Amino acid sequence: MSLSQKGVELRSLVCRYGPVEAVRSMDLAIAPGEFFTLLGPSGCGKSTTLQAIGGFAPPSGGQILVGGQDITHLPPARRPTNYVFQNYALFPHMSVAENVEYGLKRRKVPAAERRERVAGELKRVGMQDFAGRRPGRLSGGQQQRVAIARALVTRPAVLLLDEPLSALDFLMRKQLREELKTIQRDVGTTTVFVTHDQSEALSMSDRIAVMNAGRIEQIGTPDEIYERPQTRFVAEFIGSANLLPGTVVSQSFVLDAGVTVRLATAPESRRCLLMVRPEHMRLAEAGIAATLTKCTYVGDHHEILATLADGGTVTLKQQERPAFSRGAACRIAFDETKAYLIPAN
């Protein structure tokens, strides 16, 4: 069974808390059935944006549309959305089944249909054997599944998820994010997911909006965001990035560290940063002159820190432990096809 798919559109959305502008004139279009993630550091406005869509943070300006319908001033109960809070917000005095059924009762859905839909959603999230148990006797992961079932049982056009995995341990988060994406794909509902965790965003999303200080820095698919960041903030916030300063000269980029890189196209700005991810750098016989500063074993690879002649530092990731000792001179090369120019400011 697929839920009715409706897209979400924000037009010049503004949210203020007193003098603080938490969301600054945001324009955003989310496609029907899309798993869309708002990603950014604490205080960037991502949760406020989600709360505005759900009706829990009244906008100071702009419009919110779902399926083309303006819902900007509708109360939460009248919106075609359902919200899963970070702490799940389950009723402690109700059983699992009663929690899931609650929204249907409020909508005066007939009892027989309620039982059928509750049973279906509990089975979908693997909680059918816990229907009579109360939330206090469930693990965090089990509570998260119940919260998802309760949100889906009313068949919302848009599912809003506010960091629902943040309170779980690493292994549980990894398991549940895979399950959550599978459920979303099977159900088909448009989903807006808020997180500060880059790995969650990259592994789960159809598209990502990276937010900073109330604004969207970049929107794109996970590979676009990771491989072709448009700003320094996106490059540094998503994964690890080596940012090498230099100058565009004709069709070449001359690094301050003394290496020239050929460009397919020359940007307008003369001063730029060449972004190279650590996994695309390697120790080599020729390349940028550097000094090996540190090598750390982190399980599946070695993380190498090197200092360049101009005083800058770079990080490399490689499987083998380097033969160099700390303080030794070395050379660093990189795959130019994996390097990307971004503005210096």
pLDDT in tens, 179-231: 888 888 888 899 999 999 999 999 999 999 999 999 999 999 999 999 999 99
**Statement to judge: residues 80 and 206 lie in one domain:** yes
Rounded to the nearest angstrom, the gap between the alpha carbon of residue 215 and the centroid of all alpha carbons in its chain is: 15
The pLDDT of 155-184, averaged and rounded, is: 85
**Statement to judge: residues 247 and 198 lie in one domain:** no
pLDDT of residue 4: 59
**Alpha carbon distance 304, 183 (integer Å):** 39
**Statement to judge: residues 280 and 227 lie in one domain:** no
**Alpha carbon distance 292, 153 (integer Å):** 57
2 domain residue, yes or no: no
Structural domain harbouring 46: 8-232
pLDDT in tens, 247-276: 988 888 888 888 888 877 767 668 899 999
Number of structural domains in the chain: 2
**Statement to judge: residues 203 and 95 lie in one domain:** yes
**Statement to judge: residues 244 and 224 lie in one domain:** no
253 domain residue, yes or no: yes
Distances (CA, A) of 24 to 10, 37, 61, 163, 334: 12, 18, 9, 21, 38
Rg (CA), the chain: 24
Q: Which amino acid is at 177?
A: R
- Which one of 195, 214, 232 terminates a domain? 232
**Statement to judge: residues 247 and 127 lie in one domain:** no
- Taking 3-state DSSP, the helix, strand and coil percentages for the chain, each rounded to the nearest 5, stand at 30, 35, 35
**Statement to judge: residues 215 and 316 lie in one domain:** no
**Alpha-carbon torsion (63, 66, 69, 72), positive or negative:** negative
57 domain residue, yes or no: yes
Place of tokens 């900073």: 212
Q: Which amino acid is at 184?
A: Q
pLDDT of residue 69: 95
* 86 phi and psi angles, rounded to 5 deg: -60, -35
pLDDT of residue 1: 37
CATH number for the domain spanning 33: value is 3.40.50.300
Q: How confident is the model at residue 345 (pLDDT cuts 50, 70, 90)?
A: confident
**Statement to judge: residues 264 and 163 lie in one domain:** no
**Alpha carbon distance 49, 56 (integer Å):** 10
**Alpha-carbon torsion (98, 103, 108, 111), positive or negative:** negative
1 domain residue, yes or no: no
pLDDT in tens, 35-52: 999 999 999 999 999 999
189 domain residue, yes or no: yes
259 domain residue, yes or no: yes
Percent of the chain with pLDDT over 70: 97
Q: For the residues of 265-325, what is the DSSP string, one character each? A: S--S-SEEEEEE-GGGEEEESSSEEEEEEEEEE-SSSEEEEEEETTS-EEEEEESSPPSSP
- Which one of 232, 254, 279 terminates a domain? 232
295 domain residue, yes or no: yes
307 domain residue, yes or no: yes
What is the signed CA dihedral for 331, 335, 338, 339, rounded to 10 degrees? 40
Rounded to the nearest angstrom, the gap between the alpha carbon of residue 190 and the centroid of all alpha carbons in its chain is: 15
User: Residue 244: pLDDT above 60?
Assistant: yes
Quick check: 144 and 90 in contact, CB under 8 A? no
Q: How confident is the model at residue 2 (pLDDT cuts 50, 70, 90)?
A: very low
- Which one of 178, 205, 232 terminates a domain? 232
**Statement to judge: residues 199 and 331 lie in one domain:** no
pLDDT in tens, 60-91: 999 999 999 999 999 998 999 999 888 888 99
pLDDT of residue 258: 80
Q: Give the predicted TM-score (pTM) of the model.
A: 0.89
**Statement to judge: residues 58 and 168 lie in one domain:** yes
What is the signed CA dihedral for 316, 319, 324, 325, rounded to 10 degrees? 90
**Statement to judge: residues 216 and 258 lie in one domain:** no
pLDDT of residue 325: 81
**Statement to judge: residues 228 and 246 lie in one domain:** no
Q: Which amino acid is at 1?
A: M
Residue 111 CB: number of other CB atoms within 10 A?
A: 10
